[in-house]
């Protein structure tokens, strides 16, 4: 979370924890998701791959509430 100052924990879910944080460059508040990854001998769990793929698809939307 380099470049961000965590302010508060927003919530915890099955895939990770979401934090309210301040962007140190712009001063704007953002939401940061820390995804829990439990690597196995077979690689990453499919649920983790799905979560990251979904977040990557969201970056294409032009909306102020979606993080790039």
**Residues tagged in the binding site annotation for ATP:** 33
* Selection from 40, 38, 42 nearest residue 16 by Cα: 38
49 close to 40: Cβ distance less than 8 angstroms: no
Cα end-to-end span (Å), the chain: 15
Annotated binding-site ranges: 33
């Amino acid at each position: 979370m380099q470049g961000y100052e965590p302010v508060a924990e927003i919530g915890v879910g099955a895939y990770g924890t979401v934090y309210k944080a301040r962007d140190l460059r712009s001063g704007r508040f953002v939401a940061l998701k820390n995804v829990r990854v439990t690597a196995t001998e077979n690689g990453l769990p499919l649920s983790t791959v799905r979560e990251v793929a979904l977040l990557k698809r969201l970056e294409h939307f032009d909306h102020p509430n979606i993080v790039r």
